[in-house]
Structure 1
Amino acid sequence: MQDLRSAQHLAARFGGASAGTAPATLGQRNVLAWIVRQHTERSDVLTRSVEIPAGVRLPGIVDAVRTLLVRHEGLRTTFTTDAAGEWIQRVHPDGELVIEVYPDESEIDPRWWGRPFDLSAEFGVRFAVITGAGRPVRLQFAISHVTGDFATREILAHQLEAMFADPQHHLPEARQPRDQAADETSPAGRRRAEAGLRAWDRAMRKAPQCMLSIAPATAGESGPRQAVLYSPAAALALDHVTARTGASRSTVVFAAYAMLLAHRTGHDSCAMIAVSGNRFRLGARDYVGTIAQDAFVRLDIAAALDGVIQDSRASLMSTYRFGQYDTARLYEVMGRMEYERGTRFHRDCVFTDISVHRRMPGAEPRTSTLAQMREAASRTRVTFITARDLPVLCELQVYELDEQVTLVLQADTGLLPSCEIEGFLRGIERLLMAAADRDVEAAELAAVSGIAAPVRGPGWHLIDSCWIRPDAVRRLLLDVPGVTDAVAYVRDGSVVAHLVCADPTTSLFDIHLSAVARLRGRYTAMAPHLYHLHAARPGHPDDPAAWRSLPVLASGTGRRADRPAGRPEEMPCR
């Protein structure tokens, strides 16, 4: 046996495997695009660990890694661009992957976990063995998000566990990224991607631009925090709710999250991203590659939870059908919608369910009484863990839904302080428990969940499904270069602005384009529907009537048909 004390590196060599080149898949292209755009946020590396059973030695680990490399083309792929700048995937028929060996996890270089992959020169996967008591005890691996998504991470972990338990285990056949690219570039695949873009456009034009358009928290916190709910009671409650409604466990949790989110933010609809695994098509279940993409869900909130559950089921099924598209094209769709509507798609609220990839098959159905469910609630725990660097304001991740419900909620404490993050998780549990034996009315949510609805004063207006504040619109306009003074107010359901520019010949088109380009992070502002340009401000600049009495240099919407392509923030504007 190899001496573990002296072992530093192992080599998993392979040869004679399938090879070739193909256009990058939609998933690969989308991830490559946002990796290029990233600066400080490095969420493109996914990590996992697998326990190594006693009796499995280093040669067996090398064999298992080699088997994965041969079976899955995506693990031995590098990327380049063609003459037109389009991404190309190149699958290698042979090569070598180094497996690092450490006597203790603390000796792993911290950069090992999150170090970005050089995808033009190295495969998007790395392995490390942790040893103890003279034997390997754990295998750590990291994959680039270009190589795989969360489902891929779990698939690889399960396949490694199966091979460690039985070296003769046969891995299932699955499609390869080159197969995926061929499907996506087929006429049917192109039609499917175009339908996805149309679905996004329809949903975004009616949805709130930001769910968390609420007053800032007063707790004095800032930055994201992440908490985990461990609830056996919620798992028992889901047995009852799914039996009554016929919906899946995941759909019920989604509906509870959506309903409470709308309640907490004072909306009568909910708009959020539900990450679609895109693994419901033939051959995609065991696909090792990045295929998950954002799906945009807009949901009118019904009068009671059961209705929200049924609407969620229909909405999710419809939305997931359109879960594959070209992100570059999507930005064009977003840009057109944002420019015309005067809003910004903030991607502030997200729902991600990875429980299906962690679920153990063959689980026996349970029967429990309501008394047992309530007793189980005494074992509920909420723990705060290290937050991740995510470009979202509120994200619920579902990790387990069987023996125990495990939910992870990350939120921006500037809007939802730590006590509300914990309270929201417990509110989901309380809502599910209350729904175990009856439908729960929307009017009961505060009492049932313990989550209060917002109190909005006269400075708030619901315009085009968005909660906005005219003073936030005024601050937006004052940030537009050249604007020296402005006032904004709501009239007949529209936002009207009066403003003065240093250059009185400034076009309303430039003003509007620049305003929309500055909406990022402004959750209670929108670009005006109507602009009035004046030569000077009135004697009482806080009085809209005084502005209306002034002579007008130019008046209009600021919109025109020949706008530049792309999102407004990326357009050439003042």
Structure 2
Amino acid sequence: MITESAAQVEFHGGRARTGPATWGQQGTWDGIHGWLPELKPFFFLTKWLPVPLLVEVGDVLDVLGELVLRHESLRTRFHLGPGGDVTQEVLASGTLPVRVHDRPADDPVQFGDVVATCWQRDTATAFDHSAELPVRLSVALHEGIPVLVVLVFSHLAADHTATELLAAELTALLRARVDGVPPPPPRPALQPVDIALAERSPEGQMLAADALRHLRAALERMPPATPARAEPASPRHVGADLESDVLPVVVREAARRCRTTTSVLMLAITTALVRCVCPGPLHRLDVMQGNRTTPGLMGSVTTLNQVVHTVTDLRADSFADLLARAGRTMADARAHARYDSRAVAEVVRARGGVLEPGTQFNDMWSTLPRSRATAEPDPAASELTWPATSEAERMVLYFDVRGTPERMRLGLMADTAVLPREEIGAFLLAFERVAVELADGDVPLERIGELFAESRARVDR
């Protein structure tokens, strides 16, 4: 039987300070509290890491303390001011609770189940950001020997890229402890308070003003709501995931052949498939941007991502038209993705307070390091699953791309009044097939419609 005990991570000697929230933090705070008491998956980011051999529990706790000390976002409390603005309080020293799970040799429970249990428990309640540091920690042992570290971060402390940075750094710190060498130095990066102060500088305010001008122009073109195509299911929104070893290979090959980036290519494929189910001619498109555009921001551990509201034209004569449009859309989004979210909300309210649901595109995969794998991917290894349902969402389609350099995961949460369940799966299967064909040559738009219809038949079976 697995036994559970309590431990602590200690950190000492950091820099204590307070400051305003960054634009990304303020927007994330508003997003979280706009949904509470309902919990949404985006509130949390989860990660687990193996612990190398010859490391004891005390070593793991020491290394976790070093990680927390390096990154101010992990030792920050957030407070809501009387005017609704959020401030961040960085602690110089303190402790974090750790749950320790010890599995005896004869216990049949698998460590994967231990990880799932930790994640389920640590995402069952929202973070109390004013009293709790924004990370929850567990360590899994086998007969007293550390095997895994399980982490749950608040989205206020980290975005997807920051979570990967933390995982890589923790791995390097543990390896240094095993090898008996000094820990690798921290990566140069701006801390969240520094970012917040830069956003309030004249240069930062100019970025925000440009973003508001771009938003106002987009609002002038906003189309009406996407009409229903079917009787909605209950729950109304259904999510599907497609995991594929083939997609990382063919997306890179297709982007190289089309002389574009993987992110632009995937947005163009997404738009081509949206054309199959939305009437057009215009469609609301939200593009999520990571905003890691300078050396100081590349290594920052915080939440930097912000969404850019745009409108895309679904009319096209060829996939090349959609590709060129996707390139312009992504360039515009990158240029206008740093803004004061409260000011954006005021602009939207002045327009009537409502943005009609559209599509959100969030590419979290393209920033991952390139794979060194040389093995031929197996098309049969692609797996379609149905991990989530939701009664209420704010978009017709949420499309995100994540995974590892070797295995891509496409996720689609859709309103079943617009995209019935079988078409949700078909959208993902067709995305893979379009990417495969684009790696070899041009694909007519009519062919993309055929691939969507064929993929729907596969889901129906």
> Any idea what the Cα deviations from partners look like across 1:451-502, whole Å, max 9, x if unmatched?
799xxxxxxxxxxxxxxxxxxxxxxxxxxxxxxxxxxxxxxxxxxxxxxxxx
TM-score normalised over the length of structure 1: 0.70
Matches within 5 A, 1:457-472: none
Equivalent residue runs for 1:351-430 within 5 Å: 351-356=361-366, 359-361=368-370, 363=372, 376-387=378-389, 390-400=393-403, 402-430=405-433
Check if 1:246 corresponds to 2:259: yes
- Return the alpha-carbon distance in structure 2 between the equivalents of residues 162 and 151 of structure 1: 17
Contact 1:221 1:414 in 2 (8 A): no
* Inter-CA distance 102–320: structure 2 relative to 1 (3 Å threshold): same
Residue 394 and residue 6 in structure 1: after superposition, are their counterparts in 2 closer, same or farther (change >3 A)?
closer
RMSD: 2.8
Q: Which amino acid aligns with 1:383?
A: T
Is this contact kept in 1: 2:430–2:455, CA < 8 A? no
The answer on 1:201 being equivalent to 2:210 is no
Tell me, yes or no, if structure 1 residue 132 matches structure 2 residue 142.
yes
Residue 30 in 1 paired to residue 27 in 2?
A: yes
1:77 corresponds to which residue?
76
Question: How far 1:196 sits from its partner (Å)?
Answer: 1.0
Task: Find out whether 1:307 has 2:321 as its counterpart.
Answer: yes
Report the counterpart of residue 121 of structure 1 in structure 2. Answer: 131
1:13 paired with 2:10, answer yes
State TM-score, norm by structure 2.
0.86
Change (3 A) 1:317 1:52: same
Say whether residues 1:65 and 2:64 are aligned partners. yes
Task: Give yes or no for the alignment of 1:183 onto 2:193.
Answer: no
8 Å CA contact 1:249, 1:401 repeated in 2: no
Structure 2 Cα separation of the partners of residues 109 and 410 of structure 1 = 21
What does residue range 325-336 of structure 1 map to in structure 2 within 5 Å? 325-336=339-350
Q: Is the 8 A contact 1:273 1:347 kept in 2?
A: no
Structure 1 residue matching 2:294: 3-state secondary structure: coil
TM superposition shift of 1:32: 2.0
| Offset of residue 362 of structure 1 | 6.0
Deviations 1:301-328 (A, max 9, x none): 3321122122212210211221122222
- The residue type equivalent to 1:68 in the other structure is L
Higher RCO, Cα 8 Å, sep 6+: 2
Count of aligned pairs: 436
**Could you say which residue in structure 1 is the equivalent of 2:273?**
260
Partner in structure 2 of residue 230 of structure 1: 243
Give the structure with the higher percent helix: 2
Question: What percentage of residue pairs aligned between the two structures are identical?
Answer: 24
Contact 2:288–2:308, Cα closer than 8 Å, also in 1: yes
CA 1:380–1:78 in structure 2 vs 1: closer, same or farther (change >3 Å)? closer
Q: Is the 8 A contact 1:251 1:309 kept in 2?
A: yes
Write out per-residue CA displacement over residues 190-226 of structure 1, whole angstroms, 9 at most, x where no aligned residue. 110121122122113213244x4232247x5543222
Partner SS for 1:263: coil
Unaligned runs of 5+ in 1: 454-574
- For 1:124 and 1:149, how far apart are their aligned partners in 2? 12
In the other structure, the counterpart of 2:157 is 147
Question: 1:84 and 1:383 mapped to 2: Cα distance?
Answer: 44
Offset from partner CA, 1:502-545 (integer Å, 9 cap, x none): xxxxxxxxxxxxxxxxxxxxxxxxxxxxxxxxxxxxxxxxxxxx
Consecutive unaligned residues in structure 2, runs of 5 or more: 104-113, 178-182, 457-461
Distance 1:115 1:398, change over 3 A: same
Equivalent pair of 1:270/1:299 in contact (CA under 8 Å): yes
